[in-house]
Amino acid sequence: MLEQGNKELAPGPLETVGQNRFAAGRLGTLWIAWIPEGLVMVELRGEPPPAEVRRRWLPEVDEIPERALPREVYEILGRYFEGEPVDPATLPVRLSGTKFQKGAWAALRKVPRGQVRTYAGLAKDAGSPRAMRAVGMAMGANPIPIVVPCHRCVGHGYTLGGFSGGLDKKRFLLELEGVVVDGDHVHPGQLELL
């Protein structure tokens, strides 16, 4: 049995709709929701978001039952937070958003663990090279941080930029992946040149 939230549960399958918490070491507790197609939400504060926020990303489900985390999710996240070289971006997801958001998130999921991409680079990858601010907004609207790794998106001049979970969590995730962070800047050698 594995500890999830305050209950002992065996990891479950991804073929159901569910929610649960995951202890992510120094990052704290994550709240995760999924449907059979993949993960739909990861909340960095460890608590389910308000119902109106959940309905925006998961409109077809009224109630999300508490279930054991899917085995694949539990194993990949567990290994990731133990510092093993696995990439949560490989987990299945079901994204809801605008066409541009989905394009930016898809481009972001191609940035390998241990590397970063600028807002401008992601805008170019998403087919709108001048839409850096729109990329920033898409990163802020990302319902599945860590799995859709918006922490790998940095600002002009290799600055950390923003992060929905706060810059301390962004810095922690980047360093966990081996990215060199110096204050509020990322070492330029970590930049993904696509």
Summarised one tens digit per residue, pLDDT across range 115-142 is 999 999 999 999 999 999 999 999 999 9
**Phi and psi of 185, rounded to 5°?**
-130, 150
Q: Catalytic annotation on 150? A: yes
Model confidence at 55: pLDDT above 70: yes
pLDDT at position 192, please? 54
Separation CA 62–CA 27 (nearest Å): 29
Domains, in order of start, for the chain: 2-90 (no CATH), 99-190 (1.10.10.10)
- The answer to whether the beta carbons of residues 21 and 5 sit under 8 Å apart is yes
pLDDT band at 9 (very low <50, low <70, confident <90, very high): very low
Residue in 134, 150, 174, 176 annotated catalytic: 150
Residue 116's DSSP bridge partners are 191
- Whether the per-residue pLDDT at 10 is higher than 70: the answer is no
Whose tokens are 């290994």? That residue is 79
Q: What is the DSSP letter of 143?
A: S
CB 11 within 8 A of CB 74: yes
CB 95 within 8 A of CB 41: no
What's the rounded mean pLDDT across residues 68-80? 93
> In the chain, where do the E strands start and end?
2-4, 7-9, 18-23, 29-35, 38-43, 117-118, 153-154, 181-182, 185-186
pLDDT at 155 over 90: yes
pTM over 0.85: yes
